[in-house]
Amino acid sequence: MNLQSVLVLNVLLVTITVILSVADVLLGSNRQQLLRINDDRELSTSGGGTLLDSLAEQRIFIPAACGGKGTCGHCKVVVEEGGGDVLPTEEGFLTPQEREEGVRLACQVKVREDLSIRVHEALLEAQEYLGEVVVLEDLNYDTKFLKVKLLSPRTIDFKAGQYVQILVPGYEEFRAYSIASPPSQRDALDFVIRLIPKGLCTTYIHKALAVGDTIRFTGPFGDFFLNEQSDRDITCLARGTGIAPIRSITLHLKEQGMPRNVSFYFSARTKKDILQYEEFKQLEAEFPNFKYYVVLSRPAPEDNWDGETGYITDTVAKYQGDSLKDTEIYLCGPGVMIDAAMEVFDKIGVPKEQVFFDKF
Amino acid sequence: MGNTMNIFLAAVLTHNIALVYILGMCPTIGVSRNLKTATGMGVAVVFVVTLTSTINWFIYNLVLVPAGAEIVSLLVFIITIAASVQLLEMLLEKFVPYLHNAFGVFLPLITVNCAVLGVSLLMVLRDYGLVQTAFFGLGSAAGFLLAMMLVAGMREKMDLTSDVPRGLQGPGIVMIILGILALGFMAFQGMVDL
């Protein structure tokens, strides 16, 4: 390639950049717009951007796992006034009922006029946190235990079972992880994170992060948390890293002296996939009303496993059967496990309002 | 004029950008679930292709050829397409918000659509003049719109009436529809030629 071609290319690039910058100044709609949230808060924001970004600018963090690309469908808010019609990019994520209620994806709604929106109260309490990694150790061959000490703000208030969204630096994308520590531990958070091959955030945590590094996250989010108003017995089911929110819940109950009967079923593929076995075994020894069952779905021959095998739901049905009807059930794990478990509980006749789940 | 009309017709039928050149498959498969969005996408492509192929003609013939820099035309075309789509989006948002709402969301998708780039590159390969380029661009885009609408129309009908095997639902059946449509378009061969 000769020098002239390079020169021409550069001149064209500069020209195009100048044209676009001028157009942006002349045409950009950066007029101030009014955002009314839940009828009681009014914010002024510079228009033109997406609702998701405008809210983040105002320190209101709507969970969006994809970082605002319109692919995860998590950032649902109710838009009561303004915002235009539902866009084709949103259609796939909204049920007909949601469309009727005015639910939109915050990352697709542009702030071009005054908007009146409704978001979950709990989301308004979510904040951005900066923390420092103090512990990062292997729990088994593909899962790490991460402890993050909070630097600013210094404390966090959350309910046992909720999650935060960790920011992957450089990519500016968020991924959701359940908190594994009890709410009483306000100055640091625990996580249980499995390495997913080619997973963005898990690779970051497993391969790039080291003790002493800082990490950013927003939260707390989620409506999966321990119902403290009730005194029913509790049945918890978890598979893999689904153990995290269940650990938070059980440790929270432990601090209260285990006021309710708890049965915890943990499912893993083989023996080497079991997480935090000693910790829960000890809990079982300490409290007679805490029962701990490990179910291996596909034990390896060298495991010499003589405990429970097969589906986790079979084990639950075997030990608790019809008595499940009077318990509160907390489920956390992959979608297939939860769907299968919901079907079983439905058959047994557990009322839907007593079943809480967190799919990932 | 006969020549330009020929080019237009050929671009729609015998040299259809989607069904004969098999370009721009991403939106053809992805955005063809219902007729309304497919039409929106198609109309946006008509705008963008006609606009960018004309702009690229000017840049190629008035800047790149005199400067002897034809070698960078691929890079320049991509950048021009991206920039003009951006500009078009801004203009629409400001002055025709209705139109922006209707197909503004498709514009960023089109930036990286290979059919758009394909038209600009073909116009160079075939030594088209300005008017020919404009008609070729318009024709190709109209052909793309036609293909999108055909696929979407069929998919809408099939959703209601056909029992598509599970493994073929979604993109699978679209591939088959496209294949059959492409075969059908072969029947136009000989009607007009470039």
Of B31, B87, B101, nearest to A23 by CB-CB distance is B87
How close A219 gets to chain B, by Cα (Å)?
Answer: 30
C-beta separation of B118 from B17 below 8 A: yes
What is the rounded CA–CA span in Å between residue B188 and residue A133? Answer: 67
Mean pLDDT of A141-160: 92
Share of chain A above pLDDT 90, in %: 34
Per-residue pLDDT tens digits for B52-94: 999 999 999 999 999 888 888 999 999 999 998 888 888 887 7
One-letter amino acid of A299: P
Q: Which of B55, B89, B105 to mutate to test the interface with A (most CBs of A within 10 A)?
A: B105
Q: Within an 8 Å CB–CB cutoff, is residue B76 touching chain A?
A: yes
- Please report which confidence band the pLDDT of residue A237 belongs to, taking 50, 70 and 90 as the band edges: very high
**What is the phi/psi pair of residue A43, to 5°?**
-125, 145
Residues of B in contact with A29 (CB under 8 A): 93-94
Cβ pair A85:B101 closer than 8 A: yes
- Please report which confidence band the pLDDT of residue A317 belongs to, taking 50, 70 and 90 as the band edges: confident
Share of chain B above pLDDT 70, in %: 96
Quote the pLDDT of residue A56. 83
Q: Compare all CA atoms of chain A with the CA of B81 and give the residue at the minimum distance.
A: A16
Quote the pLDDT of residue A252. 94
Q: Which of A12, A19, A50, A110 to mutate to test the interface with B (most CBs of B within 10 A)?
A: A12
First to last CA, chain B: 14
Mean pLDDT of all residues belonging to chain A = 87
Cβ pair B76:A5 closer than 8 A: no
Q: What token pair was written down for A164?
A: 């935060």
Quote the pLDDT of residue B119. 93
Mean pLDDT of A173-187: 90
Residues of A in contact with B76 (CB under 8 A): 9, 12
The DSSP secondary structure of chain B, one letter per residue, reads -HHHHHHHHHHHTTT-TTTTS---HHHHHHS-SSHHHHHHHHHHHHHHHHHHHHHHHHIIIIIIHHHT-GGGHHHHHHHHHHHHHHHHHHHHHHH-HHHHHHHGGGHHHHHT-HHHHHHHHHHHHTT--HHHHHHHHHHHHHHHHHHHHHHHHHHHHHHHH----GGGTTHHHHHHHHHHHHHHHGGGTTSS--
Per-residue pLDDT tens digits for A72-111: 788 888 998 887 778 777 888 888 888 888 899 988 888 8
- Please report which confidence band the pLDDT of residue A216 belongs to, taking 50, 70 and 90 as the band edges: very high
**Segment among A113-122, A345-354, B5-14 with least mean pLDDT:** A113-122
C-beta separation of B100 from B92 below 8 A: yes
Quote the pLDDT of residue A121. 77
- Please report which confidence band the pLDDT of residue A266 belongs to, taking 50, 70 and 90 as the band edges: very high
Share of chain A above pLDDT 70, in %: 98
Cβ pair B31:A88 closer than 8 A: yes
Q: Within an 8 Å CB–CB cutoff, is residue A25 touching chain B?
A: no
Neighbour-count burial for A56-90, b at 16+ CB within 10 Å, e otherwise: beeebbbbbbebbebebebbbbebeebbbebbbbb
pTM for the whole structure: 0.61
Q: Which of A16, A89, A104, A109 to mutate to test the interface with B (most CBs of B within 10 A)?
A: A16
Q: For residue A321, which of A295, A342, A350 has the smallest C-alpha distance?
A: A350
Quote the pLDDT of residue B136. 94
Peptide bond into A153 cis (omega under 30): yes
Per-residue pLDDT tens digits for A282-315: 999 999 999 999 999 988 888 888 888 888 888 8
C-beta separation of B134 from B54 below 8 A: yes
Per-residue pLDDT tens digits for B169-180: 888 999 999 999
Mean pLDDT of A202-211: 90
Quote the pLDDT of residue B104. 65
Of B72, B75, B87, nearest to A20 by CB-CB distance is B87
Quote the pLDDT of residue A29. 57
Residue A176 pLDDT more than 90?
no
First to last CA, chain A: 51
Q: Which of B32, B73, B76, B111 to mutate to test the interface with A (most CBs of A within 10 A)?
A: B76
- Please report which confidence band the pLDDT of residue B153 belongs to, taking 50, 70 and 90 as the band edges: very high
Quote the pLDDT of residue B52. 93
Say whether A343 sits in a helix, a strand or coil.
helix
What is the rounded CA–CA span in Å between residue B39 and residue B193? Answer: 27
Per-residue pLDDT tens digits for A6-47: 888 899 899 999 998 888 888 765 667 888 888 888 888 877
Q: Within an 8 Å CB–CB cutoff, is residue B125 touching chain A?
A: no
Q: Within an 8 Å CB–CB cutoff, is residue B78 touching chain A?
A: no
